[in-house]
């Protein structure tokens, strides 16, 4: 697996998203509940640009007339046909056991600019240590096999 720098934390505000291209894959990175999540930007229904869709939540009711809006900004609705997916897990709302989009591990971390080559963190790592000054944390997406 290779980690790719996709943004600084300032580039994706809470409730926002950024669509990036990594190793030939279009991936949507979302900032939800002070965490970052990434899913493939392809709807499994007919290949629509899933991550460009409306971010929404769920209206829940235990009794008629009393409702709450939950999971605000955690559900993305495909702009082509309205299929809904959880941005945290990639699971579909209507068939979570069988239908999903690929999700990717995301981390926020410090990156030494000397360790970056072509937008990727270089490896293998060496045991030498140097004093480093970090001025900006970055959002990283881990894409297997890239």
H/E/C letters for each residue in 24-59? CEEEEEEEECCEEEEEECCCCCCCCCHHHCEEEEEE
* pLDDT confidence band for 7 (50 / 70 / 90): very high
Closest CA to 78 of 21, 40, 106, 105: 40
In order of start, what are the domains of the chain with their CATH numbers? 2-143 (2.102.10.10)
Cβ distance 75 to 69 under 8 Å? Answer: no
Per-residue confidence (pLDDT) for residue 54, from 0 to 100: 95
Neighbours of 48 (CB within 10 A): 18
Cis peptide before 124 (omega within 30 of 0): yes
**DSSP assignment string, 60-118:** EEEETTEEEEEEEEEEEE-TTT--EEETTT-BBSS-TTT-B--EEEEEEE---GGGEET
Per-residue confidence (pLDDT) for residue 92, from 0 to 100: 92
Per-residue confidence (pLDDT) for residue 125, from 0 to 100: 47
32 forms bridges with which residues in the sheet? 35
C-alpha span between 38 and 19 (Å, rounded): 9
Kindly tell me if the per-residue pLDDT of 133 is higher than 50. yes
* Bigger pLDDT: 117 vs 75: 75
The mean pLDDT of 95-110, rounded to a whole number, is 90
Q: Which residue has the tokens 């030494």?
A: 112
| pLDDT, averaged across the chain | 85
**What is the value of pTM for the model shown?**
0.75
* Bigger pLDDT: 123 vs 143: 143
pLDDT tens digits, 49-75: 999 999 998 888 889 989 888 888 899
pLDDT tens digits, 11-63: 999 999 999 999 899 999 999 987 999 999 999 999 999 999 999 988 888 89
Kindly tell me if the per-residue pLDDT of 128 is higher than 50. no
Closest CA to 118 of 13, 33, 1, 2: 2
């Amino acid at each position: 697996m290779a980690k790719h720098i996709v943004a600084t934390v300032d580039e994706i505000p809470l409730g926002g998203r950024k669509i990036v291209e990594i190793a030939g894959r279009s991936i949507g990175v979302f900032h939800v509940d002070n965490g970052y999540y990434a899913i493939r930007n392809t709807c499994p229904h007919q290949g629509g640009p899933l991550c460009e869709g409306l971010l929404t939540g769920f209206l829940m009711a235990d009794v008629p007339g009393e409702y709450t809006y939950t999971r605000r900004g955690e559900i993305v609705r495909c702009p082509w046909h309205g299929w809904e997916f959880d941005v945290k897990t990639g699971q579909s709302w209507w068939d979570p056991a069988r239908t999903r989009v690929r999700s990717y591990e995301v981390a926020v971390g410090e990156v030494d600019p000397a360790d970056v080559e072509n937008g990727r963190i270089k490896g293998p790592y060496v045991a030498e240590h140097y004093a480093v000054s970090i001025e900006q944390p970055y959002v990283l997406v881990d894409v297997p096999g890239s």
